[in-house]
Amino acid sequence: MERKRQNGKIRYRISRDVFIRKWVCMACCAVLAAVLTGCGEKNEALQNAMALVQSLDYEGALAQFEEAENSGANIRLVNRGRGIAYMGMTDYEQAVACFRQALSSSNGLVENVDFDLNYYMAAAYVKSGMYQEAEDTYDAILALRGNEKEAYFLRGNVRLNLSDFEGAKADFDQVISMEPKNYDRLIKIYEVLEDFGYKETGQAYLETALASGDKSMDTYVTGRIYYYLEEYQKAYLALEAAKDKGGVDSYLYLGRAYEATGDYNYASNVYNSYLSKYDGNAEVYNQLGLCELAKGEYGNALAAFQAGMQLEDNSMLQSLAYNEIVAYEYLGEYEQAYALLTNYMKNYPDDEQARRELDFLSTR
């Protein structure tokens, strides 16, 4: 998590590294669950191991994977799960070794699980900064399945890390040509390009989409595109219309559009409006907390972050946990912030910015 000062206010956003880590954890668990079902795998220890991975108990999961292997579970799935657990522990070398072992156990026929393993091995390479190895892995996937849109998109990300802008743009062009009306993907491409300093290129993609005259492009899509084009008035006018659909993302983008204009009070009202009508949502609570921080209402911010942390199946837990610590800092409760950050580092040891914050708090 990094702090950014905009319009005189402290703002927070999830760093690319944190986003990748969160995505990998969710995707690995979800896809492995599908693989277990597809293979008819009923091994209880293996199921328990994956449940422990999802709850971030990686050491406990590794013990269960050992038991699963001893009880005759599918060794490819065991090693695959071990790789995921080692990724959670930030031991990417061991993760890659496990994924390689799983791949080497193939019967010679290329199966869906082989592609999954390569995707996760590439993710481990990315996390360890081995971008060339990650690119090679995506090359291998695409050599066998040339229609893998996800591989083109992820290879584009990797190529940006390798300072290969032209190669990355070629991959993004390919993705867009394969799914020209997938505006969620288009926006992700913009976000990646913006993150690497190619904002104008990303905005050019968005402007082309707006100019296409696609009649299926609704107010939710146009509102988001206007948001990233920094035309905030057009954005919140479109998103106000889209809000009636009740989708949580409509509220989130609407609130962020108002935040971008400095109207944190109205943005807070948007988030509170959602929470009064629908079940709690961790990302809405997080965004509400950030608004309250910007307004200087640190107690309200803390309450919002903590409410979000109480929700089950919470993919925002890391961001909420960190922002809870920030709120305690602003409240001047440094001892509580230090205690929470020490525990945070146990769960997320690869968050270097949090480690620097821990060093800072140790002096307070």
User: Domain with 1 in it: what CATH number?
Assistant: 1.25.40
Which range marks the domain in which residue 90 is found?
1-129
Task: Name the residue with tokens 């009306």.
Answer: 181
CB 91 within 8 A of CB 83: no
Q: What is the largest CA-CA distance in the chain?
A: 61
Q: Which amino acid type is present at position 149?
A: K
89 located within any domain: yes
99 located within any domain: yes
Q: Which amino acid type is present at position 347?
A: N
Token reading at 87: 């990724």
196 located within any domain: no
123 located within any domain: yes
323 located within any domain: no
Using alpha carbons, select from 241, 229, 239 the residue that is nearest to residue 187: 229
Residues in the chain: 364
Using alpha carbons, select from 22, 37, 26, 21 the residue that is nearest to residue 112: 37
Give the separation between CA 260 and CA 30, rounded to whole angstroms: 34
229 located within any domain: no
Please state the pTM of the whole predicted model. 0.78
Give the separation between CA 99 and CA 30, rounded to whole angstroms: 17
Give the separation between CA 323 and CA 82, rounded to whole angstroms: 30
Beta bridge partners, 2, equal: 13
CB 220 within 8 A of CB 242: yes
235 located within any domain: no
Task: Name the residue with tokens 């668990």.
Answer: 29
**Rounded to whole angstroms, what are the CA distances from 364 to 1, 144, 244, 270?**
20, 56, 47, 36
340 located within any domain: no
Would you write out the chain's pLDDT as a tens digit for each of its 364 residues?
A: 344 433 333 334 333 443 344 444 444 444 444 444 445 557 899 999 999 998 889 999 999 999 999 999 999 999 999 999 999 999 999 999 999 999 998 877 788 889 999 999 999 999 999 999 999 999 999 999 999 999 999 999 999 999 999 999 999 999 999 999 999 999 999 999 999 999 999 999 999 999 998 888 999 999 999 999 999 999 999 999 988 776 899 999 999 999 999 999 999 999 999 999 988 899 999 999 999 999 999 999 999 999 999 998 678 999 999 999 999 999 999 999 999 999 999 888 888 888 888 877 777 7
Structurally, the chain folds into a number of domains equal to 1
CB 273 within 8 A of CB 285: no
